Amino acid sequence: MRNALSPRHALLLAAALATALPLTLHAKTFRFARAADMSTWDVHAQNVGVNNLMHAAVYDTLIEYDSKTFKPRGSLASEWKQVSPTQLRLTIRPGVKFSDGSDFSAADAKFSLERAKAKTSNFTVYALGVDRVEVVNAATLDIFSTVPNPVLLNQLTELRMLNKAWAEKNNSAEPKDIRTKDETFAHRNAMGTGPFMLKNWTPDQRATLVPNPLWWGRAKYPTNVTEIIYTPIKSDATRMAALLSGEVDFVLDPALQDLARVRQTDALKVLEGPENRTIFLGMDQFRDELPNSSVRGANPLKDVRVRKALYQAIDINGIQKVVMRGLAQPSGALIAPQVNGWTKKANQRYPYDVAAAQKLMAAAGYPQVCVRPTHLEQELIPGDSVHDEDHAHHGERGSPQRPQTALLQSRAQTPGRHAMWPARRIHRRSGAGSWHQRQHRAPLAARAQPGHPGSSAACIRASHVDAAARICTLFATVISVDPT
């Protein structure tokens, strides 16, 4: 099911609104909140949405996405060329400095890319296929791939650049191991080339950013925001109370049930649009015996008929209407239309058919399993917001003899593990500053398509709209069970 609400697409709508608003001349503090806090400031330690969102304000990448076309474009690399099928040459943007005044060079880029490949890195997936990195000169970098890689530029949009000397001086040459409590200097400190600098961070309390006066894009993207304060507030009710009282200007993840009230409040504005995220139920097809199952010595999920039965037992349209309150899109594919490889044929779903599901279970050798229709009621919608909403997918294991209905209800009632939960964004309107309208700052938003069916939401203070364009991005969420 494709969702309509998330941080990265708000950027499209928010930026459009921002252009219609005059830039206030007086300085402003921008305050925003969401349920989850960051886990680290080390840009290669853990690949989760809340980290990536904040890191993008302080650190740049070599390549970024154009939020209107979703095509790669230069950031710290001003240009590039394919020297051979396995050699990509990038030219470093001239005049870029880190916030301490030191120059950004090809050596820093080489160091950062190799750091992303380290054993303790959580970003190795974006360095897959990279054989080696060579510095041609201070302004030129060559990346050699093990095989021709047509998506290497796309991978580079997720790999942020550190200062080699700073990292080595502070014993942070390798990423923090997020699985341990050991800390490196880069865990609580940051120094990048981005538009803002980390002033301080108290875990689970707040993070404060201030403008980077040396940022290479400041002339092109002016701002009057002098301070950004991020506060994690776990409780939905407390976050909404903070928004309504003016304590915060922007809430990144309001609960679905709050949206109607927000739309009826003059002081608040909801921004909504499609995402490009996929959320699906992944089934254990690998172990020979399924844990926690009453079936011994076998794994029923290895049988495609069982997986297809689970698929057809889900009333996806009911979920879209009741659980998602219309803010989602049923999908048969594991990727959104904005992603290369998506086709209409792949997106076609098997029909919701309880009788067919029952027959499939019987054919697979489980005639005793009762597949009941899914009855979706309003009370199934939880008040807890998603704490890990920016993860690309969730795995779910369960007994094949447990009705899929119960599985969905269980996920819906477990905070942080909602397979069908949308990303939600709210900002407060009235009286505050503007953030630069650098649309590509939230690359995933670029993948959203204006007018795409389904929607996500966000709200903001009128003069904070362009700030939302910088922080907020809406993804298109998909709920899918792939029987293959």
Cα 147 to Cα 356: distance, rounded to the nearest angstrom: 44
Provide the pairing of β-strand 2-3 with 426-428.
Answer: unpaired
Residue 169: per-residue pLDDT: 97
Q: With a cut of 70, which residues of the chain have pLDDT below it?
A: 1-27, 273-274, 373-484
* Sheet with strand 2-3: strands edge to edge: 2-3, 328-330, 478-480, 279-282, 394-395
pLDDT at 279: 77
Strand-pair category, 328-330 with 279-282? unpaired
> Edge-to-edge strands of the sheet including 77-84?
77-84, 87-92, 140-145, 130-137
Cα(457)–Cα(9) distance, rounded to whole angstroms? 9
pLDDT of residue 304: 94
CA 48, CA 332: separation in Å to the nearest integer?
Answer: 25
Q: What are phi and psi of 244, to 5 degrees?
A: -65, -30
Reported as a single tens digit per residue, the pLDDT across 232-244 is 999 999 998 898 8
- The residue ranges of every structural domain in the chain are 1-35+233-484, 44-196
Say what the pLDDT of residue 68 is: 80
CATH of domain 44-196: 3.90.76.10
User: Residues 147, 86: contact at Cβ < 8 Å?
Assistant: yes
Q: What is the pLDDT of residue 453?
A: 32
The beta strands (E) that lie in 405-455 are given as 426-428
Q: What are the tens digits of pLDDT across the range 215-232?
A: 999 988 888 899 999 999
204: amino acid identity, one letter: D
State the burial class of residue 107 (Cβ atoms within 10 Å of its Cβ: 0-12, 13-18, 19+): middle
pLDDT of res. 275: 72
